Structure 1
Amino acid sequence: MASSAFPVVRNIVRKCCSRPIYQPFRLKSSTSAASSSSSEIRPGETIYTDEHFQLRDSLRKVIEKDINPHVDEWEAAGQFPAHEVFKKLGDAGFLGVTKPTEYGGLGLDFSYSIALAEELGGINCGAIPMAVGVQTDMATPALATFGSDRVKREFLTPSITGDKVSCLGVSEVGGGSDVASIQTKAVKKGGDYVINGGKMWTTNGFQADWMCLLANTSDGPPHMNKSLICLPMDAKGITLAKRIDKLGMRSSDTAQVFFDDVHVPQEYIIGEEGMGFTYQMVQFQCERMFAAAAAILPLQAIIKETIEYTRSRKAFGQPILNNQSVHFTLAELETEVELIKSLLYRTVALYIQGNDVTKLASMCKLKVGRLSREVTDKCLQYWGGMGFTNDVLISRFYRDFRLLSIGGGADEVMLNIICKYMDTLPKPPKLKPKA
């Protein structure tokens, strides 16, 4: 592969394959702890090893060299070159860290995907990390786990190398967070599925080569009649509506997609027919952990920049930072970010050990969405009028991060899931038998 980052990635894989990938966190002895300063403790060492940090360092170089210098230009254009960016990431080995090695992946555990998601947060906008996350942790997990060898070689391998861009087709005009209510149908005819319907809020939609499509493949119960299908986006009968910029996310690439008698081979199904809802629910857990991880660096950066700005900006004869309400608020926000990290790392550790983390992943998603709104809103207030211009990063993330409480399941859906696991949801009333 062409990128200079790939030899580093290859060495990491070689080291990881020679020992257990995940090392449970153990407290250091009192002697070693006393002899170590806090500056020597690397953030995230509860789940991260030196190999994780080496991987992050390599990704950071790609971001600094090939992505961040162009973000302002892509924001102005309203779109980023997904094929160009994904190819660079694929060549460097960053698009398939958890995927099977026989299809071009690195075969590492999910903690490595989370490490990269964190580092993607170093990109100076919210749209591009989200687009990469669609490729790595939203459209491809079910394919990698349940797909046949044919569909993996046709769709997964080129997605790992960055030669194909993927998108996820779940949300519809009448069914966003209510996945069970989708109306798109895929009916068997000959050896094909014939697809009719449409999808909304499709990230990467205008540049995608294929879609991981959730569609109704039977008339059975709504949780058992759906299937995931690999859908080539150049298939006849697909129409893309005018791009919709999610809440003004200028470099996002979001489309409304319509299907009119679109034919795809039945072999393009992922796993078993009728299991699509279940597969998608599992896939959502990866998405929600990814979303939480990708928000950490921007939240930290926003707080840091706000500290620097309020220290230099004076009002009524003193720096704004000197006001107790300001530095106390920033201290509380910093504490909340650390709590999010701890919850996320615990969730990931349990996940890679094979546990059901639906409740914890939903909590991560709920809290990071709300905290992102709180951090950007409170920090922007301290920037005054300057915070509401396009010249500062806080303004961009104030705009972009509002999506975190909506996309991938709204806050209310997360609360509903948590309540189910707490067994606190009201039971539906029993129908009285007719006389």
Structure 2
Amino acid sequence: MIPRTLFKPEHDQFRDSVRRFIDKEIVPHHERWEEQGMVDRELWTKAGAAGLLCPNLPEEYGGCGPDYLFNVVITEELARAGVTGPGFAVHSDMVATYIATFGSDEQKKRWLPKMVTGEAIGALGLTEPSAGSDLKGIRTRAVREGDEYVINGQKVYISNGQLCDVIVLACKTDPAAGAKGMSFILVEADRAGFKRGRNLKKIGLKAQDTSELFFENVRVPVSNLLGKEGGAFSMAMSKLAEERLSIAVSAIMMAESALQWTVDYTRERQAFGQSISDFQNTRFKLAELSAEILAKRVFVDRCVELHLKKELDAVDAAAAKMLCTELQCKTVDECLQFFGGYGYMLEYPIARAYIDSRVRRIAGGSSEIMREIIGRKLLGEAQK
């Protein structure tokens, strides 16, 4: 195995504490959370106290300082354990990052310390029934009236929607301006006119709340505008590389975990008087998966290095997201086969991984969109 060189001793120590927290506070409760459709609210405050929320925020807000590797550790350890309920990545890697990067001093002081402690949970309101990967197609409107915005619209598939306290909401402030007419506005969940819809029933990720959100004449002060009016599209584009990298980090770790579960199982399981691992088909299949996972692990780690230096290209992030999520789905599918009927039982981690993995090829930009991004760059360069 090629050694990883990303992490320093402080990251390794942090990984140990994260792993202990997950084993104690998440794994024993995850099945119950899947049945109830969301994690307990108190998990967030426990996670905050343990340093699992927004660790890369500046110390003045309660974080550890600008080091994305702490976020990587958390993402990897959740994937390693096969638990998908906590929406920590949306909260820490997306919502908090938007506020920290584009927010006013007042907005940062109001929200970031509470997000670090878990007192305030964040959600990102982008997707609508008629607008998924194409953000320019959103219809939620924010009309300025004096010192307020009046918001009307609907969002769907919003992670943390049932528990969130603040939403970074994408709205059209100038419908005639296309992409330049979209703005981000912070909307508190206790505003009159805001309503949480259904906690959506999904194929997988059953412990993570995913909601419809409705906005009917919701009034917020103009001071809730995040960044500049009309700047949301460029802001979103600037953060998509990190979002897709985070997905790739999770996907490759899940693939590694599924492979290890399968190696352990095939060594123990007997068939026709020998362990399953003794069959050539088992060795060849697992060897192929191992080699493919190793190659993409090296690629992802290199992308993380580039991101730490602020040099990660959006096209490379798209490639990492596409390759790793498709490998995740391939790995859990082929590994499940070795478990036979047991692989179809939800008490086995491989079964949960199978149903949880499928969304990875959709969320954060579908594989088809990733191919479009990569293809445009290729053809654009070929024409120069």
Question: Which bracket does the TM-score occupy, shorter chain normalised?
Answer: over 0.9
Question: CA–CA distance in 2 between the matches of 1:359 and 1:88?
Answer: 37
Aligned to 1:93: 51
* Most deviating of 304-313 and 169-178: 304-313
The Cα shift of 1:356 comes to 4.2
Question: CA–CA distance in 1 between the matches of 2:121 and 2:277?
Answer: 45
Decide which of 291, 309, 327 is 2:283's aligned counterpart.
Answer: 327
The Cα shift of 1:169 comes to 0.4
Aligned to 2:74: 116
Decide which of 350, 360, 370 is 2:306's aligned counterpart.
Answer: 350
Are 1:63 and 1:122, in contact at CA under 8 Å, matched by a contact in 2? no
Instruction: Say which SS state the counterpart of residue 178 (structure 2) adopts.
Output: coil
Aligned to 2:15: 56
1:330-341 to 2 correspondence within 5 Å? 330-341=286-297
1:18-97 to 2 correspondence within 5 Å? 43-45=3-5, 47-81=6-40, 83-97=41-55
Instruction: Say which SS state the counterpart of residue 179 (structure 2) adopts.
Output: coil
Aligned to 1:312: 268
For 1:54, give the aligned amino acid.
Q
Question: CA–CA distance in 2 between the matches of 1:123 and 1:173?
Answer: 33
Aligned to 1:240: 196
Instruction: Say which SS state the counterpart of residue 224 (structure 1) adopts.
Output: helix
Aligned to 1:421: 377
Question: CA–CA distance in 2 between the matches of 1:423 and 1:222?
Answer: 25
For 1:159, give the aligned amino acid.
M
For 1:125, give the aligned amino acid.
V
Aligned to 1:208: 164
Are 1:175 and 1:182, in contact at CA under 8 Å, matched by a contact in 2? yes
**Normalising by the residue count of structure 2, what TM-score does the alignment of the two structures yield?**
0.95
Are 2:37 and 2:199, in contact at CA under 8 Å, matched by a contact in 1? no
Are 2:123 and 2:160, in contact at CA under 8 Å, matched by a contact in 1? yes
Question: CA–CA distance in 2 between the matches of 1:214 and 1:229?
Answer: 7
| CA gap 1:196/1:273 in 2 versus in 1, 3 angstroms | same
1:364-421 CA distance string (max 9 Å, x none): 1101210111011101111111111112010001000101000111001111111222
Aligned to 1:359: 315
Are 2:38 and 2:85, in contact at CA under 8 Å, matched by a contact in 1? no
Instruction: Say which SS state the counterpart of residue 177 (structure 2) adopts.
Output: coil
Question: CA–CA distance in 2 between the matches of 1:197 and 1:126?
Answer: 29
The Cα shift of 1:113 comes to 1.9
| CA gap 1:199/1:426 in 2 versus in 1, 3 angstroms | farther
Question: CA–CA distance in 1 between the matches of 2:70 and 2:85?
Answer: 21
1:117-196 to 2 correspondence within 5 Å? 117-128=75-86, 131-196=87-152
1:207-227 CA distance string (max 9 Å, x none): 111111111111343221111
Question: CA–CA distance in 2 between the matches of 1:124 and 1:203?
Answer: 18
Gapped regions of structure 2 (runs ≥ 5): none
Are 2:33 and 2:85, in contact at CA under 8 Å, matched by a contact in 1? no
Question: CA–CA distance in 2 between the matches of 1:123 and 1:217?
Answer: 42
Question: CA–CA distance in 1 between the matches of 2:156 and 2:381?
Answer: 29
For 2:63, give the aligned amino acid.
G
Question: CA–CA distance in 2 between the matches of 1:310 and 1:220?
Answer: 60
Aligned to 1:8: none
The Cα shift of 1:316 comes to 3.4
For 1:44, give the aligned amino acid.
R
| CA gap 1:425/1:189 in 2 versus in 1, 3 angstroms | farther
Q: Which has the larger radius of gyration?
A: 1
The Cα shift of 1:140 comes to 1.8
For 1:346, give the aligned amino acid.
R
The Cα shift of 1:88 comes to 1.5
Are 1:100 and 1:106, in contact at CA under 8 Å, matched by a contact in 2? yes
The Cα shift of 1:425 comes to 9.6
Aligned to 2:336: 380
Q: Sequence identity, in percent?
A: 35
Question: CA–CA distance in 2 between the matches of 1:330 and 1:367?
Answer: 18
Aligned to 1:102: 60
For 2:209, give the aligned amino acid.
D
Aligned to 1:256: 212
Q: RMSD between aligned alpha carbons?
A: 1.9
The Cα shift of 1:294 comes to 2.1
Regions of 4+ moved over 6 Å: none
